[in-house]
Structure 1
Amino acid sequence: MYLTDLEETQWQVIKKILKPQERKRKYDLRKIWNAIFYIVKTGCQWRMLPSDFPSWELVYYYYRKWSSLGEFDLLLNNLREKVRVSMGQKAEASVGIMDSQSVRWGNNRSLNGVDGNKKVKGIKRHVVVDKNGFLIAVMVTIACVHDSKAAYLLARCLKELCCNIKVILADGGYRGDVSEKIKNTFGYLLDIIVSGDKVNGFKPIKKRWIVERTFSWFDNYRRLCRNYELTFDSAEEMVKLANIRMLLNKI
């Protein structure tokens, strides 16, 4: 029994959303999910998964299978809507907040770049969250890709998710022609919010600070503190799984 294990109510919510095929199995799918959440939380290697879980090969097989089938996306979207409704909000968000986070590399075989501004060698996570800080979309690039260049691709990810976003709040790093390009192509209004008070030091900007809080939530999951993933797809899936775990804790 680990602190990362699913409670019965949480497991029933996952089963209701994903509707797994009922058949005889050697290992209960709940144990597979427990193993995946253990890896995301503790940051351990797949091959070092404790022996009380099913074999790491089987856990990794299901991880890749569910990732390719879009199960994590489906679960994330449904959980986010469920939690929003329980908070008295509409199921779908109309306002998103966009930002990026540079993450140091932890795997020397993965693609990486250098963010010259933050002096970080590794990758960048580009995310869009709602007003609660719940993840809507995520895209991973090498760290040297500028925010304004990645914004268009991230907007395309949003469009593919068929979400109800109308306005996206962003910081000064997204200024330029990209705002008009996103509006004409996808219909999203990119609202750039820049702090005008530089005399009195740092002050959190209303609504914009929410995405920074989301990044701090990521640090509670050791798998996200550095980039240990070989591919960008896997790096994105780990972010989604961490957010799924956070939303499950709110049920």
Structure 2
Amino acid sequence: MATNPIHERLRLWVRVSKNREPSPSEAIMDSQTVETGTMVSKDVGFDSGKKIKGRLRHLMVDTLGLLIVVVITAANLSEQAGAKQVLSKLNSMRGLGRLIQIWVDGGYRGKGFSHWVINVYRWLWSVVTRHQEHKGFVVLPKRWLVERTFGWFNWCRRLSKDYEILPQTTEAFIYVAMIRLMLKQLV
């Protein structure tokens, strides 16, 4: 599904209202495994790491936590394969000429993949991981922004689980949730 023009316009307005440039220079990407409803069978897989049958939400957000791109895939798809879909969708969008750097977690690690992103898209690909000496919960620079966006989805009952038959419908509901959130920020 193409990005929503209403969502895009609101994201620009929110960024400008927060004294930011309309186009972000940095973005943060992560994925979230979500359990699917019992009647959902299209594009569903098993995430062996989290032991969940469902779908993956691949999100890219700006430094305000505002959604730029979302892609929904089966949960058994690797983060790097999902990232390729997100980056392809991102590359086709207009108005992101200032984007230079993308922050990701350890699931996107790999010199070959990082070099591929730099060579194909010309974006800096920075993996943020937790230091080995830290135990328990640690707030990681930049990465917490996308985690906060995932938390905002918990305010929407429809997004607590993936009830939609089609992944495109889930994407649409995520855009609607973000539109609702941005309208609240503008009022």
Q: Place the TM-score, normalised by the shorter chain, in its bin.
A: over 0.9
Alignment of 1:165-180 (within 5 A): 165-176=99-110, 177-180=112-115
- 3-state SS, counterpart of residue 128 of structure 1: strand
Percent identity between matched residues is 36
- For residues 79 and 133 of structure 2, what CA distance do their matches in structure 1 show? 22
- For residues 113 and 149 of structure 2, what CA distance do their matches in structure 1 show? 24
The residue identity in structure 1 corresponding to 2:180 is R
Shift, 1:107, TM fit: 4.5
Shift, 1:124, TM fit: 0.3
Shift, 1:249, TM fit: 0.6
Partner of 1:183: 118
- 3-state SS, counterpart of residue 114 of structure 1: strand
The structure with the greater share of residues assigned to strand is 2
Runs of 4+ in 1 over 4 A off after TM superposition: none
Partner of 1:34: none
Q: Is 2:7 aligned against 1:76?
A: yes
**Structure 1: segments with no counterpart, 5+ residues:** 1-67
Partner of 1:151: 83
- For residues 193 and 218 of structure 1, what CA distance do their matches in structure 2 show? 23
Shift, 1:198, TM fit: 4.1
Match of 2:19 among 71, 88, 96: 88
- For residues 134 and 19 of structure 2, what CA distance do their matches in structure 1 show? 39
Shift, 1:210, TM fit: 0.8
The residue identity in structure 2 corresponding to 1:172 is G
Partner of 2:35: 104
- For residues 192 and 246 of structure 1, what CA distance do their matches in structure 2 show? 28
Partner of 1:245: 180
List per-residue Cα deviations over 1:124-174 (Å, max 9, x = no partner). Answer: 000000011100000000001110121111111111112232110001100
The residue identity in structure 2 corresponding to 1:75 is I
- For residues 245 and 197 of structure 1, what CA distance do their matches in structure 2 show? 39
- For residues 114 and 198 of structure 1, what CA distance do their matches in structure 2 show? 32
8 Å Cα contact 1:110/1:229 also seen in 2: no
- 3-state SS, counterpart of residue 101 of structure 1: strand
- For residues 232 and 148 of structure 1, what CA distance do their matches in structure 2 show? 19
Partner of 2:59: 127
- For residues 241 and 96 of structure 1, what CA distance do their matches in structure 2 show? 20
**Structure 2: segments with no counterpart, 5+ residues:** none
The residue identity in structure 2 corresponding to 1:169 is W
TM-score, normalized by length of structure 1? 0.69
TM-score, normalized by length of structure 2? 0.92
- For residues 153 and 184 of structure 1, what CA distance do their matches in structure 2 show? 16
- 3-state SS, counterpart of residue 71 of structure 2: strand
- For residues 152 and 209 of structure 1, what CA distance do their matches in structure 2 show? 22
List per-residue Cα deviations over 1:45-86 (Å, max 9, x = no partner). Answer: xxxxxxxxxxxxxxxxxxxxxxx7x5x611111101101111
Q: CA RMSD in A?
A: 1.4
Partner of 1:138: 70
Give aligned pairs, total: 182
- For residues 134 and 104 of structure 2, what CA distance do their matches in structure 1 show? 22
8 Å Cα contact 2:128/2:141 also seen in 1: no
Query: Which structure exhibits the higher relative contact order, with contacts defined as CA atoms closer than 8 Å and separated by 6 or more residues?
Result: 2
